[in-house]
């Protein structure tokens, strides 16, 4: 949680000093109650196990559970009762304690928070206890992989594994941990085959948001484990993102909260239209007026302007390029190593600022920080396509497609592959990948660029002009000059085949 003071109700807790204040007056807590309160606050409403609490209050020591009970009782006495007469600290039977994060008459209203997920131990359906180690290993790897995403938080393995061997209602789990989403699964071994089923569930409605199964031979068990981890990690993040966008639209349509503005802007940018991009940027400016140093908002605003200049769309402000770079640099300043922040800012530096070395360095750092983030993987490949080796770019882009072949973000990778194939003169392959991208999003301008150019190079002029007319319908005023101005030019010759194909199909020069 860093060095930021944590507030709840009338209280303010300083994690550095370990001090507690109520309405401006200091409260003497003692070292261990202060340590316990700090951990409960850091959990942001989720349950904290007794083991974790005892480790925080008595690090490296073995103590009786009764000591924890005594210290929690002392802490409750210091805090007193909530305005509704209930305790601030809630006991979760057989598990631990939690300090609920909620609105009521005695607490200041809280802005919507980023989502959280609990990954439960997988159920062993075959009854073969030898498979427990494999199932537990898969869950631990998934938790580790999901922990690398900054758009949501993940309950720790120690906390989640208190449910091992127990039949539970996911809604109960969600309440006890204070999470919105629960990932659960099962494992079954039949002969030499192992089958794993995984599903992501809404913790409030118990609705199934996503499910899949994996099956392979036991001889490849560790490669199998890695494949499951990679696949689940790359699916859960966009599934949660989509669910959060829907939740925002349904539950808080008029909320000015920064997180809601972020979700709405993200949905508008993904729409890939000139009008939606402008709307998204306006929403992000509104969010920055509330939180001017929010790295995620800064990076998304930079991304919106980078997107606009790359597409050659009409400008929003007096100098979109300068503002884009200003936002990107501020975003990096406050990024704290967040891969999604870094990738948006890195693309802005590379695409808009033509800072090839700086942009590539940021994008490489983002890819190292979270190789399973689809957008990070795709943008890393696009950057390599413009500024690096084409073979390396294709390897990255194909991996990004494998990570999420049906995810909307796959349009970046598929269109990038089509571009690389045009660079190589493989126009039929470019048409194939361009068509796959178009099936995911019919409003992504670069997909049309590739389809127009590839068909023109193949001599399919009727098809090329058909796609050109479709592009002009969604991007009026598109010209060769605008498209070329938005492309990185570390090697100016690389993008020439695309421009030549567009010109051959009849696109206006300026």
pLDDT for 249 = 61
- The two beta strands, 193-202 and 123-124, are unpaired
CA-only gyration radius of the chain, Å: 26
Fold topology of 6-98: Arc Repressor Mutant, subunit A (1.10.10)
pLDDT for 325 = 96
pLDDT band at 23 (very low <50, low <70, confident <90, very high): low
Mean pLDDT of 366-382: 86
Q: Cα–Cα distances in Å, from 94 out to 117, 176, 274, 362, 440?
A: 20, 11, 54, 45, 47
What is the tens place of the pLDDT at every residue in 225-266?
A: 777 777 777 777 777 777 777 766 655 545 567 877 888 888
Q: Which residues sit opposite 26 in a β-bridge? A: 21
Fold topology of 407-510: 1.25.40
pLDDT band at 280 (very low <50, low <70, confident <90, very high): very high
- Look at 172 and 94; give whichever has higher pLDDT: 172
- The two beta strands, 116-119 and 90-92, are unpaired
Pairwise CA distance, residues 324 & 427, whole Å = 34
Q: Domain residues of the chain, as ranges?
A: 6-98, 116-243, 256-370, 407-510
Fold topology of 256-370: 1.25.40
Mean pLDDT of 379-389: 90
Mean pLDDT of 456-470: 95
Q: Kindly state the helix (H) or strand (E) to which residue 6 belongs, with its residue range.
A: strand 6-8
Beta strand ranges found along 23-146 (DSSP E): 25-27, 48-49, 90-92, 96-98, 116-119, 123-124
- The DSSP 8-state label assigned to residue 4 in this structure reads -
User: What pTM did the predictor assign?
Assistant: 0.63
Q: Given this chain, do its domains 6-98 and 116-243 carry the same CATH topology?
A: no
| Domain 116-243 sits in CATH 3.40.50.1820 | no
């Amino acid at each position: 949680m860093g060095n930021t003071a944590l507030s709840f109700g009338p209280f303010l807790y300083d994690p550095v000093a370990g001090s507690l204040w109520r309405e401006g007056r200091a409260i003497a807590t003692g070292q261990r109650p202060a340590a316990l309160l700090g951990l409960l606050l850091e959990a942001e409403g989720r349950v904290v196990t007794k083991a974790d609490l005892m480790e925080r209050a008595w690090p490296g020591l073995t103590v009786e559970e009764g000591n924890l009970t005594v210290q929690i009782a002392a802490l409750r006495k210091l805090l007193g009762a909530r305005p509704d007469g209930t305790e601030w600290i809630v006991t979760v039977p057989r598990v631990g304690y939690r300090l609920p994060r909620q609105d009521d008459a005695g607490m200041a209203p809280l802005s919507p928070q980023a989502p959280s997920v609990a990954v439960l131990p997988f159920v062993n359906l075959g009854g073969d206890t030898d498979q427990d180690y494999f199932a537990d290993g898969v869950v631990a790897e998934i938790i580790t992989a999901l922990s690398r995403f900054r758009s949501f938080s993940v309950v720790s393995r120690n906390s989640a594994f208190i449910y091992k061997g127990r039949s539970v209602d996911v809604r109960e789990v969600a309440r006890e941990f204070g999470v919105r989403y629960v990932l659960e699964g099962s494992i079954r071994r039949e002969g030499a085959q192992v089958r794993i089923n995984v599903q992501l569930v809404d913790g409030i409605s118990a609705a199934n948001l996503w499910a899949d199964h994996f099956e392979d031979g036991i001889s490849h068990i560790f490669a199998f484990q890695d494949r499951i981890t990679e696949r689940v990690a790359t699916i859960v993040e966009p599934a949660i993102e989509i669910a959060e966008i829907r939740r925002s639209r349904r539950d808080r349509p008029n909320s000015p909260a920064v997180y809601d503005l972020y979700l709405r802007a993200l949905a508008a940018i993904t729409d890939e239209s000139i009008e939606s991009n402008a709307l998204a940027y306006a929403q992000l400016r509104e969010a920055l007026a509330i939180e001017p140093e929010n790295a995620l908002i800064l990076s998304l605003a930079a991304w919106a302007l980078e997107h606009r200049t790359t597409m050659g769309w009409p400008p929003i402000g007096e100098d979109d390029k300068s503002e884009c770079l200003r936002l990107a640099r501020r975003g990096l300043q406050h990024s704290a190593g967040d891969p999604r922040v870094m990738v948006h800012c890195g693309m802005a530096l590379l695409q808009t600022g033509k800072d090839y070395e700086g942009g590539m360095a940021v994008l490489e750092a983002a890819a190292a920080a979270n190789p399973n983030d689809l957008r990070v993987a795709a943008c890393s490949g696009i950057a390599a396509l413009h500024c690096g080796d084409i073979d390396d770019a294709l390897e990255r882009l194909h991996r990004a497609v494998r990570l999420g072949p049906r995810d909307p973000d796959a349009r970046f990778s598929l269109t990038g592959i089509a571009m690389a194939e045009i660079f190589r003169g493989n126009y039929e392959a470019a048409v194939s990948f361009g068509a796959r991208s178009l099936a995911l999003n019919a409003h992504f301008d670069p997909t049309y660029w590739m389809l127009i150019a590839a068909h023109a190079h193949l001599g399919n002029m009727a098809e090329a002009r058909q796609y050109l007319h479709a592009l002009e319908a969604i991007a009026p005023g598109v010209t060769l000059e605008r498209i070329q101005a938005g492309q990185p030019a570390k090697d100016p010759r690389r993008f020439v085949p695309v421009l030549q194909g567009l010109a051959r199909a009849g696109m206006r020069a300026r």
